[in-house]
Each structure stands twice: as structure tokens, then as C-alpha cells.
Amino acid sequence: MGAVMAIYLDHNATTPTDPAVVNAVVRAMSESWGNPSTLYGSGKRARTILGDARASVAALIGAKEPEDIVFTSGGTEGDYMALTGPFLAHSGSKNHVITSMVEHKAILLTCARLENRGFQATFLPVDEKGRVDPEDVRRAITPRTLMASVMLANNEVGTINGVAVISEICHEAGLLVHTDAIQAVGKIPVDVESLGIDLLTLSGHKFYGPKGVGALWIRKRTPIISVLAGGAQERGMRPGTENIPSIAGMGVAADIAVGRLPQEASRLRSLRNRLWEGIWKAIRSVKAHGDLKTGLPNVLNVSFGGYDAEEMVLALDRQGIEVGTGSACTTGEPLPSHVLLAMGVSPAEARSSIRFSLGRANTEQDIDSVIAALIRIVNK
């Protein structure tokens, strides 16, 4: 007897692997196991897969030159490379990076490590919607600033930043610009030329691809050195024999995402809005965070006043519904999300917040079931 599938509403944490992606991974593993750096037939087959996947990922982000895509092990590695690589390449006195308070841990902790080694970091505040003010970026620039890193879309509340404007400001001052686009790619149109950035990070498992694979797009002539030492793979930027099966899978996921993007964004927005309407009509003391009008179409972050988020998540799980919280856990008691705190949400409200992030398989029926389950929980 098959297991009953849960209603999954945590697509910002990860997405189910698309069956076509699974097929591509298995096929690559079975038929194209060669080392792409070799001269003979099996190597060539592997190289072809690399090339195809690179073109597919490039198309997903509007990159004109596929060779500007560097495959990585995922978003965390891409973020680390994007932040440390330029500093490794820099031989002058610049030692300052500008970022925001609401970035993913991969960015924040890399900046913290840089600080520990004598570099400097400014963590910019955000407004009540979670947005970075481009003028704050401008004000933070000093003669020692090398680069800025501001995420395109926030993983917890879905807020989208004005990265194109930020890029313009930074380039005027001679800075490099990186954006963590991990949550945006595959959900909204992303175009590296319109954004005007120099570096972009993406991750396969956020758009129905495999886990453990991602990419860092690097604009040509960006001064950056690899953080790894070894072979010449990925133009020397990411030494190590390539993970062909996962890269193949990510390429297929990229193709599917490109095909589905416009209609899927609209469908998810409609479902998300249905969820929010159902919640606030039925339950008192709820508050949505972020910007539902302009943010990611699939994200809804809600505080349920007076309720503990972790207990609600577990209660929903018992009813076959899987959702996320933004909390981190260090003492056995969940910590409130740093993103919500930075937006001015009180610690108590932040502790009662749940993130719903919708995806391809979600239907109106799912949404109605979630609303009914929430009502049962709060009425207990």
C-alpha cells in the first residue's frame, strides 16, 4: 500500500525532484559516467552533457555566454565563492563588503568569517517589508569597499530587492555586485543583464532539480580567484571532477522552469492569495509579513499571535501538512527569525510566524485543506 502524501508547503526549503530530472540523473549516471576532462568517447559524452546543461542554466538567467556559468555543489558554495573570490583576487587595500541583515546564513557567516580575518562588513537594515534601500547602499560605500552582496528575493518573506538600482549605484563607485538569487531563480524571471550584476548564485534543488548542485554566474572579466586549488575544471574556478549526473538533472530542471515560468508564477500567486484570504477571514490576530503585491508569488509568512510556531508546525504535520518556520535552534528553544527581527517584528511575533511556500503540485484543494487544519488547531 502506498504512503499518503503530505500536503507540502515548504518549497523554499526544497522542492520535490521532477521525474524528468530523475530520469536525466539516472541516464547520465548509467550512460555518461566518463570524466569530461578526458579525450576519448566516454569523456566527450560527459562533456556534451556539461555543455547542454550549461546552456540551459544560462538561458534560465538570461546569460548570453554559457561559459560564464560555473557549476558548484550548491547555493552555499556559490555564495562563499562569490564573497571570498573577489577579495582573494584583490591586491590593493580594499577590505570592505556591504550586505544586508536579512541575507541567508551562507552570506552572513561568510561575512562574519571575513570580519574575523580583518575585513569589514556593513549589514544594512531593511524596511518593514524586508527591502534594502538602495540609498543605504550608497551611503555605506567607502573608499575601501570592494563589493556589495544583496539578495534578489528573500527566502523567508519573499521580498524582492531593487538589485538593478543597487548595481547602478555600486558600479558608479567602482564596486562589484553579487546577488544571491537562489530563491528567485525558477520562480520569477531573472535576467543578469537587466540586473546589471557581476555575480549571481543559484541552486538546483530550489527549482525541482537535484540537491548538491548549483551554479555561480560570473560576468566576464570579473576579478575573482577560485577558493579551491586543483584542476582546471570550470575554467579553473571550481576545480574537481564535475558531478555530471546532478548537473544533467539541473539542466533539465532549468529547461522545465523556463517553459513553465510565466503561467506558474500567476497560478501560485492566486493560490497564495487564496491561502491568505482564508486565514485572515477565519483567524484573528494574524499578520502577514513581506510584500504580497510585489514579492515572490509563492510565499506567505504569517504570525499567529499567541501561538508557538514550532508547536503549530508539528500540529500541522500531524494533519499531513508540511510548512516551515524561520527559526533557528540552539538552546532547544527556537530562536526568532533574524529576517523578521530586522524588519521590526517583535521577538514574540517572530516566534509565532510560519512560512508557507507553495509549489507546482499544490492545488486549490490543498489550500482549502490547510486553512481548515489551521482553524482546527487554533480553535482547540
Catalytic residues: 329
C-alpha of 248 from chain center: 20
Question: Min. distance of Cβ 338 from another protein in angstroms?
Answer: 4
Gap between the Cα atoms of 24 and 208, Å rounded: 13
Count other C-beta atoms under 10 Å from residue 207's C-beta: 28
In single-letter form, the type of residue at position 146 comes to L
- The verdict on 330 binding another protein (CB under 8 A) reads yes
Gap between the Cα atoms of 202 and 208, Å rounded: 12
Dihedral sign from CA coordinates of 165, 171, 173, 177: positive
Identified binder of another protein from the candidate list 27, 113, 138, 360, rule CB under 8 A: 113
Nearer to another protein, 10 or 18 (CB): 10
Identified binder of another protein from the candidate list 91, 263, 332, 380, rule CB under 8 A: 332
Identified binder of another protein from the candidate list 23, 240, 347, 376, rule CB under 8 A: 347
Identified binder of another protein from the candidate list 61, 188, 244, 342, rule CB under 8 A: 342
Nearer to another protein, 105 or 376 (CB): 105
Which span sits near another protein by CB under 8 A: 27-35, 102-110, 174-182, 262-270? 102-110
Question: Min. distance of Cβ 74 from another protein in angstroms?
Answer: 14
Strands 199-203 and 214-218: antiparallel
Rg (alpha carbons) of the chain, rounded to whole number: 21
- The verdict on 173 binding another protein (CB under 8 A) reads no
Which span sits near another protein by CB under 8 A: 115-123, 154-162, 164-172, 270-278? 115-123
In sequence order, what DSSP letters do the residues of 280-300 get, joined into one string? HHH-SSEEEES-TTTS-TTEE
Question: Min. distance of Cβ 343 from another protein in angstroms?
Answer: 9
Which span sits near another protein by CB under 8 A: 158-166, 184-192, 278-286, 325-333? 325-333
**Under a CB-based contact definition with an 8 Å cutoff, are residues 179 and 163 in contact?**
yes
**Under a CB-based contact definition with an 8 Å cutoff, are residues 224 and 89 in contact?**
yes
Single out the residue of 136, 129, 191 nearest to residue 160, CA to CA: 129
- Residues constituting the chain: 380
The number of residues that bind another protein (CB under 8 A) is 34
Identified binder of another protein from the candidate list 335, 360, 366, 375, rule CB under 8 A: 335
Cα angle value 230/234/236 (rounded, 5°): 40
Question: Min. distance of Cβ 326 from another protein in angstroms?
Answer: 11
Identified binder of another protein from the candidate list 336, 353, 356, 373, rule CB under 8 A: 336
C-alpha of 38 from chain center: 33
Q: Which residues contact another protein (rule: CB under 8 A)?
A: 96, 101, 105, 108-109, 112-113, 115-116, 120-125, 140, 327-336, 338, 341-342, 344, 346-348, 350
